[in-house]
Structure 1
């Protein structure tokens, strides 16, 4: 029994959020600057230890709000990071979540009790981060590319109604490749990711363009 207790004790859970946006033609990720050891003055993903009285998702949302001021962000489970040496203090299992937001008019709290700054970084210019957070970002990018083809995860990034060219531009930025317009529209409609809202809007001041929205039933 004593051996069993030694094997199980002092195992904690980190909940970590990788929050993406698309801004000025670039995919960016939200980082915070730490003020405490370990990794003092390092940039990191928003996150921290989960409490005993909360779920994983609730913990991730609490940590995100405490360290950035952001609330009511849709998050989805992304991955598990369980390297034995990922923390020097105790055995910590990392559970990561992923989210996508529009930063237009976003009120970001840049300084808190545990952070000295917060900002969005291009995924191509992410510095060396605390813990295994570079690895978490790399995996999150792969997961995001999969999710945008099969779910409505981008709902928080675009306005409620949008044109197909607007949506395709976002997809091409995230996937880093050009997409055929007809095949793109056909796939998203056939898969039920988007639906026609049955009204048109002027596109670039020219002839009306069809408007679409994300299907709420496609998670």
Structure 2
């Protein structure tokens, strides 16, 4: 399905910024949206095979003791690959999460066929008056009720899903975009801000033709 409101929204907590530098995922959280409604959840700590730093413990609230009891990436990522199936994917700052998803799946020789969209890139175009485009700022800017603690994977995935749905509602209200497709959202995140009116006018023409 290519509807923008039927997607898997995911978030990773990690040991650092770059899987190419040896960083690993330590938690994955995800929600499955169908027609804008959260219908399923996925959350699992992941043992990276080494001790994480005190900074990461403080930043995420995930401790080495918690990770010592967690399953390996091999187990978790097989389960997550089954969970996401062939759905399209959304994340906040998606390039970060996509790098870790690709790296962890490559270790178990699993792949996915869905495409990625970035709620942060779309929000930069839709909410240019926000003071910044971090997830917590956009949640407050749009008066979305916060659920859970930021920097835990499932809570961040849930809040990203609520933000994503709010973005889709904004498109319907401000630009009369009825039932935006995922392909449209993927194209929107690449549009120059000055081109938005022309972009939405072209989309409206395509819908009416």
Q: Structure 1 length normalisation: TM-score?
A: 0.26
Looking at secondary structure, tell me which structure has more strand per residue: 1
Q: Structure 2 length normalisation: TM-score?
A: 0.27
| Higher relative contact order (CA closer than 8 Å, sequence separation 6+) | 2
Larger Rg: 1
